[in-house]
Amino acid sequence: MSPLSKRRRLLIGIGLAAFVLNGCGYFSQARRETKKMAREIIATDKNFRKTVAIAPFRNQTYYKRVDIDSVFQTRLIDILESACPKLLVFKPESKQYPAFMMDLPRKAGGKIDNLKVALNARPYGLDGVVTGTVVDIGAYEDKRGIAWMRDTHYFVQIQILVELFDTETGAKLLDEHFIREVEVDETDHLLVKQGKQAPIPEIPETLERIAAELGEKICDALSSQRWKSYIVSKEGDRFVISSGQRSGLKPGTVLEVYPSTEMVSGIGEERFFVPGMKHAEVEIVQAESDRSEAVLKSGGDVQVGCAVKVK
């Protein structure tokens, strides 16, 4: 082979290696942009902005050196706002952050009370409520390889639980229990196994990768839902709705009204709200930033707690 051919092959090899290394980030971003466009195409009620609130994430692990709950939550919110740019996100630091979100209602055993969460969320015009917990950080080792080439590899395993509650039914639109592992050196493996508060960069890095994946999943779940808000007060045939101009409401907007207070029991102690049939229409006559006033257009029996959806 001529020196020129060898040089050409070397340059091509280096170029391909650079493409692969740099291309991972490129393709990851391209994939997100493609999914964003797909959501816009399949999304219902495109001219209306859905609203979600993020509860402060909890860290149930021994590892406190880094605020891993905040690391995870911050990255998740970044992905949500990037992947679903029309989504209104209530963060713990938001000025109008709902007070109940700081300490979500729970049942006697510690499980989140889905019905109380839904009822508390409706006056804020929320479509969904997101909760998250860093459940566990542990370490293990494993022999890997082929025959005489087997060697000991060391891993840190991270468990994350994220739930997305629908405010109309109280059901979970998303219930993800992620378990991810990352290979570390023997020293870091031992530090985690002993419960030491040591700086291990692989932990926050892995949390950020999980958050990116879950942010996309939350976006997908919300995109497939109809926009909704709720009747929060009434006086005669005039009604106050818990969403306004920021969500896309304006005078003349006609909304369908659905009852949303009947309950049904599921497996065990699970209970949910059952959406009823449309029985009225209301028309927006005045819209402020986060509140609207509407009048009855047709039908009747519009009660506080009813859900409203775009006609």
> For residues 173 and 309, what is the distance between their CA atoms, to the nearest angstrom?
18
| Residue 26 pLDDT class (50, 70, 90 cuts) | very low
> For residues 177 and 180, what is the distance between their CA atoms, to the nearest angstrom?
10
Greatest mean pLDDT range, 5-9, 46-50, 148-152: 46-50
CB neighbours (10 Å) of residue 44?
13
- Residue 149: per-residue pLDDT: 75
Question: Residue 67: is its pLDDT beyond 60?
Answer: yes
Question: Residue 294: is its pLDDT beyond 90?
Answer: yes
- Residue 143: per-residue pLDDT: 84
Look at residues 129, 109, 110, 130 and name the one whose alpha carbon lies nearest to residue 119: 129
Burial of 181 from C-beta contacts in 10 A (0-12 / 13-18 / 19+): middle
Question: Residue 44: is its pLDDT beyond 80?
Answer: no
- Residue 300: per-residue pLDDT: 85
